[in-house]
């Protein structure tokens, strides 16, 4: 258990140091550790003793140089504080770990520069592959620089017109339908729909599903997938001349927006669900604690992460052996009815 006291660090031992101390060749050291060839009990004992004494651990980059792979993969997310992505991360990590892969979690903060710097990890082969769940539509350029060159799987978002990349997403359209039908069944005839960024397939599909399922009139507002945006959009609407204009329900593009809506309602002195029913999307942890607790469309986030990672590791292991076939997984969503939705009473003020 030799370790330096007092702070000055010692150079890590190399395989040569171990071999010298044990009085054998580096080949024997290598094979003792890998078990790929028989080693005499005496040699093995000497090697193990030397390894312990020096605290030797093989340098990964030297191994990688041989094998060409690092057995580490990455997951790109836009915001790790969003519970939806945190849960995707958990699913991805569990599977990666099961498969003997390490997982790097990369948080882009929706910053293209940072995203780009993380993409360099795969270009420089620091990692073997990547699950891209950055919650944004990567530019065609970025996509092209990766496609066909490195193992990449998309999660959460998917892309129209790109057939050669595997993706795992929830069934956003079905979720929108669920939300629309739910509000319709509660007797609502006028609703506000808060949508996310217009370039995101997920946002588009949710909206489309809602529009197809909700028979009443819909007021549309577009914003960002966060609480501040949800709050601002509703506050703006309330403050406008026509106000909510008879709307008795809101379908928020995701839970964060819905949380913002709840805040805006409280600030405006309106009550949920009495004055306005609210439906979110995702089912993040906060949704179970709000007042009232949020009715929402649950995405199987953990499963999305898990599946995406399954595909990725599959692609990596069959890497250059055979052309890979793109998959498109659609996972089922589920309506979680809680307190933020109720029967439509009279039109709000």
Partner DNA sequence: TTGTATGCGTTATCAT
Partner DNA sequence: ATGATAACGCATACAA
Which residues here bind DNA, judged by CB under 7 A? 14-16, 23-28, 30-31, 33-34, 36-40, 42-43, 56, 58-59, 62-63, 65-68
Q: Judged by CB, which is closer to its own copies: 40, or 109?
A: 109
Q: Judged by CB, which is closer to its own copies: 164, or 185?
A: 164
Q: What CA–CA distance (Å, rounded) separates 96 from 92?
A: 6
Q: Judged by CB, which is closer to its own copies: 54, or 333?
A: 54
Residues in contact with its own copies, counted by CB under 8 A, come to a total of 70
Partner whose binding site includes residue 87, from its own copies, DNA, none (CB under 5 to 8 Å by kind): its own copies
Strand ranges across the sheet with 152-155:
102-107, 72-77, 129-132, 152-155, 166-170, 328-331
Partner whose binding site includes residue 255, from its own copies, DNA, none (CB under 5 to 8 Å by kind): none
Contact flags string 104-123 toward its own copies, x per CB under 8 A: xxxx-x----x--xx-xx-x
Tell the smallest beta-carbon distance from residue 61 to DNA (Å): 7
Q: What CA–CA distance (Å, rounded) separates 279 from 270?
A: 16
Q: Judged by CB, which is closer to its own copies: 110, or 208?
A: 110
Q: Judged by CB, which is closer to DNA: 48, or 90?
A: 48
71 contacts 100 by C-beta, under 8 angstroms = yes
Q: Judged by CB, which is closer to its own copies: 82, or 248?
A: 82
Q: Judged by CB, which is closer to DNA: 17, or 226?
A: 17
Restricting to residues 127-166, which ones interact with its own copies according to CB under 8 A? 144-145, 147-150, 164
Q: Is 185 exposed, middle or buried (0-12, 13-18, 19+ CB in 10 A)?
A: exposed
Partner whose binding site includes residue 27, from DNA, its own copies, none (CB under 5 to 8 Å by kind): DNA
Q: Which two tokens stand for residue 115?
A: 């995203």
Task: Work out the angle at residue 336's Cα, subtended by the Cα atoms of residues 309 and 299, and round it to the nearest 5 degrees.
Answer: 15
Exactly one of 17, 44, 93, 226 binds its own copies (CB under 8 A); that residue is: 93
Longest dimension (CA), the chain: 89
- For position 220 contacting its own copies by CB under 8 A, the verdict is no
**Preceding omega of 292 cis (within 30 degrees of 0):** yes
Restricting to residues 253-282, which ones interact with its own copies according to CB under 8 A? 259, 262
Q: What CA–CA distance (Å, rounded) separates 337 from 27?
A: 64
152 contacts 128 by C-beta, under 8 angstroms = no
Q: Judged by CB, which is closer to its own copies: 319, or 330?
A: 319
Partner whose binding site includes residue 40, from its own copies, DNA, none (CB under 5 to 8 Å by kind): DNA
DSSP 286-297: GGGTSSSPPEEE
Q: Does an H or E element contain 167, and which? A: strand 166-170
Q: What CA–CA distance (Å, rounded) separates 313 from 309?
A: 6
- For position 314 contacting its own copies by CB under 8 A, the verdict is no
Tell the smallest beta-carbon distance from residue 50 to DNA (Å): 12
Contact flags string 317-346 toward its own copies, x per CB under 8 A: --xx-xxxxx--------------------
Sign (positive or negative) of CA dihedral 307, 310, 312, 315: negative
Contacts of 172 (CB under 8 A, 6+ apart): 201, 202, 203, 205, 206, 209, 333
Tell the smallest beta-carbon distance from residue 80 to DNA (Å): 31
Q: Which two tokens stand for residue 304?
A: 């999305």
Kindly list the residues in this chain that would bind its own copies in the complex (CB under 8 A). Answer: 1, 3-12, 55, 57-62, 64-65, 70, 72, 80-81, 83, 86-87, 89-90, 93-94, 97, 102-107, 109, 114, 117-118, 120-121, 123-126, 144-145, 147-150, 164, 259, 262, 285-286, 289-292, 319-320, 322-326
């Amino acid at each position: 258990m030799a370790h330096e006291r007092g702070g000055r660090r010692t150079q890590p031992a190399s395989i040569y140091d171990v071999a010298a101390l044990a009085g054998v060749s580096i080949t024997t050291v290598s094979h003792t550790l890998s078990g790929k060839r028989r080693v005499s009990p005496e040699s093995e004992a000497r090697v193990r003793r030397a390894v312990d004494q020096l605290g030797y651990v093989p340098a990964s980059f030297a191994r990688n140089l041989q094998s060409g792979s690092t057995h580490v993969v990455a997951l790109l997310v836009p915001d790790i504080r969003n519970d939806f992505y945190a849960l995707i991360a958990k699913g991805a990590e569990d599977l990666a770990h099961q498969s003997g892969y390490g997982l790097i979690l990369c948080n882009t903060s929706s910053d293209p520069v940072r995203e780009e710097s993380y993409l360099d990890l795969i270009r420089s082969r620091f990692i073997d592959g990547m699950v891209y769940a950055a919650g944004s539509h990567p530019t065609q350029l970025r996509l092209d620089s990766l496609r066909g060159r490195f193992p990449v799987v998309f999660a959460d978002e998917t892309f129209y017109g790109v057939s050669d990349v595997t993706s795992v997403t929830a069934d956003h359209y079905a979720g929108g339908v669920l939300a629309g039908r739910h509000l319709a069944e509660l007797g609502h005839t006028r609703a506000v729909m808060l949508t996310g960024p217009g370039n995101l397939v997920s946002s588009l599909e949710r909206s489309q599903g809602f529009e197809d399922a909700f028979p009443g009139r819909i007021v549309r507002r577009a914003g960002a997938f966060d609480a501040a945006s949800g709050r601002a959009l509703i506050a703006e609407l309330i403050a406008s001349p026509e106000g909510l204009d008879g709307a008795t329900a809101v379908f928020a593009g995701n839970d964060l927006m819905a949380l913002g809506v709840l805040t805006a309602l409280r600030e405006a002195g309106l009550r949920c669900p009495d004055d306005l029913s609210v439906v979110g999307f995702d089912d993040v942890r906060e949704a179970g604690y709000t007042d009232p607790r949020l009715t929402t469309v649950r995405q199987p986030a953990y499963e999305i992460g898990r599946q995406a990672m399954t595909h990725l590791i599959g692609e990596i292991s069959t890497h250059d052996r055979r052309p890979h076939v793109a998959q498109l997984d659609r996972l089922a969503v589920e309506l979680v009815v809680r307190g933020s939705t109720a029967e439509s009473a009279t039109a709000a003020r």
